A and B are shown apart, each in its own frame.
Chain A
């Protein structure tokens, strides 16, 4: 959205009536990013020391991706629960959800990972008699953190739907739940999916924090490689390359998804929020 608006305003142009020249609106940044990626890829393919780093780091991608997907899935469930909880009629649910969200949002991620994965979860494990791996504990912690962020996304999305929609549904005899599921949530999804996509990318990047618990995802592997071979430049170069490819690829996919969502049945861009 912000991108397309930026194009229309003629920032600092002398003759305001002119349509901007092609080079003014051309996405040069895309070319720059692609060029950087190509250059990085070229280094990795052609230089033996980079190639070595690549071979040591890349196996961690399985854990990075698994942890991302798991954390996202759990966070989604927690976020929906806590988001709806905050809008609940029940005093207890409302306050429980709010406590969770405010608690998590008030603490930076790194200290939370230490406290939850190393203190809170082990205590819960002991009390309930089960055992989670470091990786799983760290993943669950990430999910807890992002669940709170997503709760706000869900809450905002649901609240953005006009009260008249709920009233129309209830007037037809639909129950609260039916109204939520068939009328409010499908409309709220338009407001919810783009920020959820951003959170997905943020989770992917934040799985790098699992390295502080020794989980062998790509960041931890790059650290180990660099520390043992003293090839810091190669190790972190490759690491940055992998993250860039993953996040830029995801951004691209999300952009396409968003474009599809904001088109109506005739392929015309719809004006959100009206109707």
Chain B
């Protein structure tokens, strides 16, 4: 479904954020990416919907090359949901309007169709009563769940999560992870950058460990986690679990 070949991204000619990454993500698969800060996890994710343009290599989604100048990036992005660490809700719009904006402008849905989809997704993330609230009136966990509902309302084929729980107070992490677990069990294709090892073990099909822009190790979460082949992987897990 997503095919990343020999991906490299260099910033300002000398910051090699991602180096020669190869990664295939199958339909319905949940891939969890971990690694130290600055190891290029976000950059890989952002290349998948071309928020960053790759310096080298190719990315294909359902056989469509992202780097092909003829591809319509807006059409592809509509099929790829992205959830950010900082939620990035639109503060000037209500929750309902946050979720309806792209449905109407990109999908050309009528107001009632968009509203119906929005309510369906709000129900799914467990906050249908917040439809008329503004983002600033919600807790962090609720905001992130709205962000997930907003992405889901576009009925994407793939969901990308970039540290979706890192900006949350501890007591709100679970409500967001629960939504993601449910999504994974429904068969959504997901690429998730997170340090929540509980989630990786429960939902992840494969765990990717990145360091210095490269994929160091990749395999079933339990194996990479409990029994890593590389010393760097072991050192990393030793550090994050105390």
Q: Which residues of A contact B (CB under 8 A)?
A: 162, 164-165, 167-175, 178, 182-183, 186-187, 264-265, 270-271, 274-275
- A265 engages B134 (CB within 8 Å): yes
Give Cα A175 to B231, complex, Å: 45
Q: Which residues of A contact B219 (CB under 8 A)?
A: none
Q: Taking the complex as formed, is B64 at the interface, i.e. its CB lies under 8 A from any CB of chain A?
A: no
Most buried by B among A162, A173, A187: A173
A238 to chain B, nearest CB (A): 45
Q: A173-B154, A270-B136 given. 20 additional CB < 8 A pairs?
A: A164-B86, A165-B88, A167-B82, A167-B88, A168-B88, A170-B74, A171-B80, A172-B77, A172-B101, A172-B150, A173-B77, A174-B74, A174-B105, A178-B105, A182-B105, A264-B134, A271-B136, A274-B136, A275-B91, A275-B135
**How far is B134's CA from A271's CA once the two chains are assembled, in angstroms?**
13
Within 8 A of A (CB), among B77-96: 77-82, 84, 86, 88-92
CB distance from B162 to the nearest CB of A (A): 10
B189 at the A interface (CB under 8 A): no
A164-B88, A168-B84, A186-B92 given; A173·B51 CB < 8 A: no
Q: In the assembled complex, which residues on chain B have CB atoms less than 8 Å from the CB atom of A178?
A: 105-106
Q: How far is the CA of A241 from the CA of B80 in the complex (A)?
A: 62
Which residues of chain A are within 8 angstroms of B151 by Cβ–Cβ distance? 171-172
* Contact between chains at A187 and B82 (CB < 8 Å): no
Inter-chain CA distance A271–B135, complex, in Å, is 13
Within 8 Å CB of B88, what residues of A? 162, 164-165, 167-168
Contacts A164-B88, A165-B88, A187-B92; A172 near B136 (Cβ below 8 A): no
**A251 → B minimal CB distance (Å):** 26
B75 CB–A CB distance under 8 Å = yes
Say yes or no: is B216 at the interface (Cβ < 8 Å to chain A): no
**Does A165 contact B90, Cβ atoms closer than 8 Å?**
yes
Residues of B within 8 A of A275 (CB): 89, 91, 135-136
- In contact, B91 and A171 (Cβ under 8 angstroms): no
User: Can you list the 3 inter-chain pairs with the closest CB atoms, starting with the nearest?
Assistant: A173-B78, A275-B91, A172-B102
A-B contacts, 13 listed (Cβ < 8 Å)? A165-B88, A167-B82, A168-B88, A171-B49, A171-B77, A171-B80, A171-B151, A173-B106, A174-B101, A178-B105, A182-B105, A274-B136, A275-B89
The chain A residue sitting closest to B90, CB to CB, is A183
From residue B141, how far is it (CB to closest CB) to chain A in Å?
15
Q: A171 touches which one: B75, B82, B134 (CB < 8 A)?
A: B82
If the complex has contacts A164-B84, A167-B51, are A172 and B106 also in contact, measured as CB distance less than 8 A? yes
